[in-house]
Structure formats: C-alpha cells, structure tokens
Amino acid sequence: MGSSGPKPLEEQAKPPPSFSENWKERILIPTLLAGTTGGGVGLVSKHRKTHGLANISATYATNFAIVSGCYCGAREFVRVVRKSEPDDLVNSTVAGFGSGALLGRLQGGQFGAFRYAVIFAVVGTTVDFAMIKLRPALSSYKQSIFKDKEKNPGWLKLPEWSPIQVLDEEELAAKKAREKELYAAQSALGKLSKEES
C-alpha cells in the first residue's frame, strides 16, 4: 500500500521495479479482460436491438479496452515517476484523476473532465484495492489447482460412456491381446472364405 514509515536499509537500496517489468500483467491483461467484459456488456445492452448486436458489442468492447488501457498505462506511469511500489494505492488515485480528466475532457468538456476524473479515481482505486485483497486467495487457488495436477496427472477424467478413454499399461496390454485374437480370427475367416470360392 502506501509508505507508512521508514523502510529497512536493504529495501531502501533496492531500486523499484522498472516500467518494462511485468507490463503484460499490469497493462495488457487488464486491458484485454476489460475489452472482453465490454463485449459481454454489449451482448446484454438495451441498445442491441437499435444498433445491432455485433455493432453495440464491438463498441462496448472498444470503449472498455480504451478506458482500461488509459487507466493502467497512467497508473504505471505514475508508479515509475513516483518510484513507488506496484501496490501503492496513491498511484491508482492519481492515475484515475489523470486518465479520467483526459477522457472526460474529450467526452464532455470541462464538467465532463471533473466528473470522469472523480469516477475514474474512485472506481480505479476500489478495483485495485479489491485486487490487492483478493490476490493471496487467487494465488492459493491457482497453486492448489496446479498442485492437484502434479499429484494426479489424470485430474481430467472422462466419463465412462465416452468413446475416448485413457488406458493404463495393463488395460493397453489387454486391448492389444484382444486385437491380436481378433486379427487372427479375421485372417482365419479370410482364408476359409478364399478356399470356399
């Protein structure tokens, strides 16, 4: 979060992470997720009948991606300029005011700039705070999924009725033995039918 006191000497000597570090996680992925969310919002929008489903979904997806990209880029810019940690909420607030004022000015003049600046700052800081609080739970959930996968490589089980089956070594050997018997029986029948004709 914010700077709440003097840091130990080791932490003071360590330079803050650069802008190019983790930019995919902090800018690109949130922008893509926001675009996808915007497309979903467009699917249930009340304007879909008037403007067409594809058109309104594309418009919402584009707008959500632009807003998210501007906000995340501004947040990272503020973080680098302030030389602060990625989880500092002051970065989120300043970036929300800046990106909201810029996009609001383009959308609705001076009053729009003020209104959007406040909205972006509040929403952006709230979302970042929620992500900071949820990150430990999400990482433990992710680790539990991958641990289960490592412990039990067959974690994805197909139903018994499925025509696709993964066989272990014993079942595979039994299948090959059945195929050999079937092949021998078919070749014996083939020889018998050739002799009869």
- Give the mean pLDDT of 46-67: 92
31-51 pLDDT, tens digit per residue, is: 999 999 999 999 998 888 888
Per-residue pLDDT band for 185 (boundaries 50, 70, 90) equals confident
Q: Concatenated DSSP letters for 132-197?
A: HHHHHHHHHHHHHHHHHHHH-TT-SPPPTT-S-----HHHHHHHHHHHHHHHHHHHHHHHHHHHH-
pTM recorded for the entire structure: 0.63
9-19 pLDDT, tens digit per residue, is: 555 555 555 65
Per-residue pLDDT band for 1 (boundaries 50, 70, 90) equals very low
Q: Which two tokens stand for residue 33?
A: 């997720």
* 147 pLDDT above the threshold of 90: no
- How many angstroms separate the CA atoms of 69 and 89, rounded? 18
Q: What percent of the chain has pLDDT over 90?
A: 45
- Give the Cβ contact number of residue 107 at 10 Å: 11
Q: Report yes or no: 91 and 75 within 8 Å, Cβ to Cβ.
A: yes
- How many angstroms separate the CA atoms of 10 and 176, rounded? 64
| Three-class SS state of 34 | helix
- How many angstroms separate the CA atoms of 86 and 69, rounded? 16
Q: Dihedral sign, CA of 21, 74, 124, 4?
A: positive
- Give the mean pLDDT of 73-87: 90
- Give the mean pLDDT of 153-162: 66
